[in-house]
Amino acid sequence: MIVLACLAAGVVLCSLAWGTPTLSVGQVVGALLGSAGVEDSHRFIVRNLRLPRVIGGALAGGMLGASGAVMQDTLRNPLAGPELIGVSAGASLAVATIVAFRLPFPGIALPIAALAAGLITGTLILSLVSLKSNPMHMLLVGAALTALINALVIAVITLAPNFGGVSIIYRFLVGSLSDVQWDEIRLAAPWTIALPPVILLAGRRLNILRLGDEVAEGLGVGVRRTRAVLFATSVLLVAPVVAIAGPIGFIALVSPHIVRRLLRTSDARVVMPVAAVTGAVLVLAADGAARLALHPHEVAVGLWTALLGAPVLLVLMQRGIFGKRPSA
């Protein structure tokens, strides 16, 4: 935990400091605190360009990591994740349609439309599955509808009369923090208040769900209702960050697995919060790579999350480096 906290602080500081121009730690702290003797341009860069981006990245990573942990335990499948609840696909479809057909949605209206579309598709999938209690059924319906909506996105892209918009759509589809400003943060941040109570309340339930439906029923947990509530919670956690940053891939999948393997526990009460922090660190590190690695070109952060996250998880999965693999 301590290591992780230090890592998080370090990544935040580096994200604020590095770039064009690269600032010293003192300059960053000075700019943040608004002390005199810091150039206005530096203050502007740190406060208005880099800080919102860092906060957005941390929010996105945290929400995705936590919801990945929730979904994997809720549906009892190590591959489950918020991609399967339709939020990302719905938001992508909204953005693709708006950009491709040049519908008049200026500035901040775009993430709001994405948020609305994400919530609508999430609710749609939830209403299609919540009647049934079988987790496999939920997974497959989610996967099917997500594939359906993604197919619509592809159709929209290929038919787009406005080909110049394709790169904007593509960037959103892969996930990018480059457009995150204070307005976007103001849109997404209030929702994240939901996270701590979720972690507190859901942990015990998730642990019971993992034991299997019969045991959970025997312990007095209403399995169907719990699963539906957790599913809905995931929709609420993920929709706002997807709306501002796009569906940053892979974070929700790897963060919980990394935590389970590092801490050698599957206890949801531990996995959820630590996965949130891990997700935030991963996104910020990936965003740093996105900004700096191929400077001055910027490659969308969603690619770097996969390129950075995959080796980390693969290494952790090799037995002998971190001891015996816990049951996932």
Partner 1 sequence: MTVAAAGLARRTRAARSNLRYRWSVAVLAVVLVALMLLYVMLGPVLFAPDLVIKALAGQPEEPLHRIAVREVRLPRVLMAGLAGAMLSSSGAFLQSVLRNPLAAPATVGITQGAVLGAVLALVLTFGSEGALDDLNTLVPMAAMAGGLAAGGLVYGLSYRRAGADPLRLILTGVVVAAALSAATSFLVLLSGSHTDSIIRWLVGSLSTRTWEHLRFLVPVAVLAVPLVVAAIPVGNVLQLGDASAVNLGLRAELARAGVLTTAVVLAAGAVSVVGGIAFLGMMGPHLARTLVGPDLRRLVVCSALVGAIILVAADLMARTFSLDWIPLLGIETESGSRVPVGAFTALVGAPFFVYLLRARA
Residues that bind partner 1 (CB under 8 A): 77-79, 101, 128, 132, 134, 136-137, 139-141, 143-145, 147-148, 150-152, 154-155, 157-159, 161, 166, 174, 249-250, 253-254, 257, 299-300, 302-304, 306-307, 309-311, 313-314, 317, 319, 325, 328
DSSP string, 195-263: HHHHHHHHHHHHHHHTT-HHHHHHTT--HHHHHHHHHHHHHHHHHHHHHHH----SHHHHHHHHHHHHH
Q: Give the C-alpha separation, 82 to 322, whole Å.
A: 28
> Given the complex with partner 1, which of 196 and 311 has the nearer CB atom?
311
Q: Smallest distance, Å, CB 163 to partner 1?
A: 8
Which one, 237 or 258, has the nearer CB to partner 1?
258
Distance of closest approach, residue 169 Cβ to partner 1, in angstroms? 11
- Cβ distance to partner 1 smaller for residue 33 or 159: 159
CA dihedral 208, 213, 214, 220 (to 10 degrees): 50
Q: Can you spell out the DSSP letters for 115-147?
A: HHHHHHHHHHHHHHHTT---HHHHHHHHHHHHH
Q: How far is the CB of 76 from partner 1 (least distance, A)?
A: 11
Query: How far is Cα 271 from Cα 263, in angstroms, rounded to an integer?
Result: 9
Closer of 27 and 92 to partner 1 (Cβ): 92
Tokens linked to 112? 């709001």
Minimal distance, residue 316 CB to partner 1, in Å:
10
By beta-carbon proximity to partner 1, the closer residue of 6 and 315 is: 315
Nearer Cβ to partner 1 (9/151): 151
b/e per residue 107-123 (b: at least 16 CB within 10 A): eeebbbbbbebbbbbbb
Tokens found for residue 84: 């399967």
List Cβ neighbours of 132 (8 Å cut-off, separation of 6 or more): 138, 224
User: Least CB distance from residue 155 to partner 1, whole Å?
Assistant: 5
The distance of closest approach from Cβ of residue 62 to partner 1 in the complex, given in angstroms and rounded to an integer, is 20
